[in-house]
Amino acid sequence: MIRFRNDTHALTVCAMFVALLVIFSQIAIPLPMGVPINLALLAVYLCALLLPLPYALMTIGVYLLLGLLGVPVFAGFRGGPAALFGKTGGYLLGYLLCALIVGLLSPKTKGFWQKSLALVAGLFVCYVFGTAWFMRLTNLGLTESLGYCVFPFLPGDVVKILLGAGLAGRLGAALQKV
């Protein structure tokens, strides 16, 4: 976890993570029902593993606020209330829950596999919240919603979890020097 030297260092690193979230959100593959595969969760994982919990939540909150205000930061250069509160908005809001869970667990993690398990727990919470939201707005059942919103994403999420757990140490050391 990064130890901030001063407020300027904290704001600089948090701004870099907001930018990372925006960039990773645009690296996307669209799928049916409007739920794209993108790298945003990898940025959430890194943010939650590397930043102190209040800063991680603030960073993701700023990203969501930018999107709510209409800045096209979400996948496919979408923004605005319709994007945040639409059928896939539960996954975007789930980023906060994911960061909360990972941020609470990460100080107790010592190594790659423990970090990976913390990320799995965060992903699970994001999936539960986002899928429940999707089901509520689309009136689809659990099986059909999982087919649209979870199952196609599992292979990519495994890769993102492994990358997040593996990159966290190296990025933390580099960001400490920023």
Strands 37-38 and 28-29: antiparallel
Taking the complete model, does pTM exceed 0.85, yes or no?
yes
CATH of the domain at 50: 1.10.1760.20
Domain that holds residue 47: 7-177
Q: Tell me which residue of 64, 166, 59 sits closest to 114, measured CA to CA.
A: 166
CB 31 within 8 A of CB 149: no
Q: Tell me which residue of 129, 6, 105 sits closest to 49, measured CA to CA.
A: 105
Taking only the tens of pLDDT, the chain with its 178 residues reads 888 889 998 999 999 999 999 999 998 887 666 667 889 999 999 999 999 999 999 999 999 999 999 999 998 899 999 999 999 899 999 999 999 999 999 998 989 999 999 999 999 999 999 999 999 999 999 999 999 889 989 999 999 999 999 999 888 888 877 7
Query: Can you name the residues that pair with 29 across neighbouring β-strands?
Result: 37
Domain total in the chain: 1
